[in-house]
Amino acid sequence: MTTAGNLLTETVNLRTGHIRAQGHLTGPGADLLRGTVDSLRDSGHSQVVLDLKGVLDADDAGLAILSTLRRSFSEAGGQLFIRNAPARD
């Protein structure tokens, strides 16, 4: 069951290519971030900053998706900077 307290939300600055995430990072939340990162890249951003300072916790699926996303962004010639990533237990 998903409740409002378990959701991941994001705030996007389209001008600078910065994304701030808040909440709980799970697979579906990481998919949301992936869509936003892809959209920023498609609109011309070669560098995107993803700030996870507001993320309360993360599961392995969410972290794995972000790792794959960083690699694919790099392979496409860009840079995805992930700041304040939660540590894996």
At residue 86, the pLDDT reads: 81
User: With 50 as the cut, is the pLDDT of residue 9 above it?
Assistant: yes
In this prediction, residues 38-51 reach a mean pLDDT of: 95
In this prediction, residues 10-32 reach a mean pLDDT of: 95
At residue 87, the pLDDT reads: 72
Could you give all domains of the chain from N- to C-terminal order, each with its CATH number? 4-83 (3.30.750.24)
Tokens 């409002």, residue? 4
